[in-house]
Chains A and B, each alone.
Chain A
Amino acid sequence: MLTIARETYDAIVAHARRDHPDEACGIVAGPEGTDRPERFVPMVNAAGSPTFYEFDSTELLALYKEMWARDEEPVVIYHSHTATEAYPSRTDIGLANEPGAHYVLVSTREHGPDEGPVEFRSFRIVDGEVTEEEVAVVDALPARSTP
């Protein structure tokens, strides 16, 4: 299950609407091993395409170096589909390289850049196998337990 704060959920949806009809992409980082999506990081889609997304390679390195310095990992990797359902494509599955991440897909096919319901779904993608999981949107993430 993915547990995500309402504010982060809304930020992902807003990003997807803003970039429609191109695909939007980004991550939500969190402290390593906690499975807590805490830090929303929208990224530029270097492909600038309605059917493909890719983080710019220089920005990708900067992002990971920042996460390593903060002992974080990508808890959520999100992107939008703008004309099709919020389900991983064969391309998404083939290029999914973070087995520990929640892959969030948002579809803006119904309302595009406008207000209105969007599909927001989360998946695990490990070794080419897709497993959908429940999404729990909460007002705030529960307080962190100290290890």
Chain B
Amino acid sequence: MAIEVRVPTILRTYTDGEKAVTGEGDSLAALIADLEARHPGIKERLVEGEPEQLRRFVNVYVNDEDVRFTGGLETALSDGDQVVVLPAVAGGATDAR
């Protein structure tokens, strides 16, 4: 069960510079746990809180669908799925957030 994960520039320090890595898992949560085992430190950049949820300004797509619309970390995965991680491009004058 291999799932290809596209890694953004900012997280490539965890993947020895690789743009894409392979992981396993039948859900996004399981995949992230597997990635953490292979690339320690990466999980904290993707999830936060208790119970864990995806960080507000990290976007994850499974086969081009934003997982926020497909169940978040519970999103089911199967062999051959393509996962893309992209940090939000966001900001603004407010310092309130």
Taking the complex as formed, is A136 at the interface, i.e. its CB lies under 8 A from any CB of chain B?
Answer: no
Could you tell me the distance between the alpha carbons of A21 and B64 in the complex, rounded to whole angstroms? Answer: 32
Question: Do the beta carbons of A51 and B59 come within 8 Å of each other?
Answer: no
How many of B's residues come within 8 Å of A, CB to CB? 22
Contact of A89 among B8, B10, B84, B92 (CB under 8 A): B92
Number of interchain pairs (Cβ within 8 Å): 91
Question: Do the beta carbons of A95 and B93 come within 8 Å of each other?
Answer: no
Which of B84, B87, B93 is the most central at the interface, judged by chain A CB atoms within 10 Å of its CB?
B93
Q: Mark B54-91, 1 if CB is under 8 A from A, else 0.
A: 00010101001010100000000000000010111111
28 contacts between A and B (CB under 8 A): A23-B93, A43-B89, A52-B90, A54-B88, A54-B89, A54-B90, A57-B68, A57-B88, A60-B86, A61-B61, A61-B64, A61-B66, A73-B9, A81-B92, A81-B93, A83-B93, A89-B91, A89-B92, A89-B93, A91-B91, A91-B95, A91-B97, A92-B92, A95-B91, A97-B9, A97-B89, A98-B87, A98-B89
